[in-house]
Amino acid sequence: MLILTHHSLTRYTAGQQESAYAVQMVVMATQKRRFRAVFRALEEQYPDVKCELDFTTPLQLLAATILSAQSTDVRVNSVTPELFARYRTAAEFAGADRADIERIIYPTGFFRAKAASLQAMGQQLCERFGGEVPMTLAELVTLPGVGRKTANVMLGEAFGLPGITVDTHLGRLARRFGWTTNTDPVKVERDLMILWPKKDWTKASQLLIWHGRRRCHAIRPACGACNVAQWCPSYGEGPTDPAVAAKLVRTAGRG
């Protein structure tokens, strides 16, 4: 996104600065309108949108998001019923038999590192947060295995607080829609925070992630079967023929 800083403008005359700001305002207004249109169309396309990880408590979602690194939600959901039945509190994760956790979560990959993170997460929650999952991004990112992406998932899904979850899908789609040129997730998040209304952060993240999983794939997006194509500057990156594109549509998100 075009962002003109005070520093970059000091080289120009007052008149040039005014024109540059005017251009920036027009670009922002256009991008905001595009976001609104895309958001509404995706709401219609995916009326059942939700987090695809199964959970009932913040602790369960925290554990599931740690397991979802380098894995798929389907695979994570296949192991969490047993995991959550055996470990119900932060204290139980803290005092777990590491080998038992490793056995249960093995199908999600990187099972040794993830088991260590789950146990350390339980210990930290007990030592620093009274066994509860904290409700701020600043506190969440201090937990083992929890990065900014996981923290934003927690804010939005577990606590109903606004959060933009920049995963691989959201980053790709934000670039395709021209909302950012950045690849660093923190910078993408910053650009989207300027553009998207705060009340829509969580749902917009979910909708775009769903769209990325089902239609706007990294390779061969289904442009000819995309209901937001009219607002997409990247239309044509994938097949535009409706019959060809329809075959690329996936019905359930996999990862």
* Residues at the interface with ligand SF4 (CB under 6 A): 176, 215-216, 221-223, 226, 228-229, 232, 234-235, 237-238
Establish whether 48 is a catalytic residue: no
Query: Catalytic one among 32, 48, 114, 167?
Result: 167
User: Cβ 248 to ligand SF4, closest distance in Å?
Assistant: 9
| Tokens read off for 135 | 């409700």
CB nearer to ligand SF4: pick between 153 and 223 = 223
Establish whether 184 is a catalytic residue: no
CB nearer to ligand SF4: pick between 38 and 146 = 38
User: Cβ 203 to ligand SF4, closest distance in Å?
Assistant: 17
User: Cβ 90 to ligand SF4, closest distance in Å?
Assistant: 40
User: Cβ 218 to ligand SF4, closest distance in Å?
Assistant: 10
CB nearer to ligand SF4: pick between 142 and 181 = 181
**Three-class SS string for the chain?**
CCCCCHHHHCCCCHHHHHHHHHHHHHHHHHHHHHHHHHHHHHHHHCCCCCCCCCCCCHHHHHHHHHHHCCCCHHHHHHHHHHHHHHCCCHHHHHCCCHHHHHHHHHHHCCHHHHHHHHHHHHHHHHHHHCCCCCCCHHHHCCCCCCCHHHHHHHHHHHCCCCCCCCCHHHHHHHHHCCCCCCCCHHHHHHHHHHHCCHHHHHHHHHHHHHHHHHCCCCCCCCHHHCCCHHHCCCCCCCCCCHHHHHCCCCCCCCC
CB nearer to ligand SF4: pick between 17 and 234 = 234
Query: Catalytic one among 54, 149, 191, 199?
Result: 149
Catalytically annotated residues: 149, 167
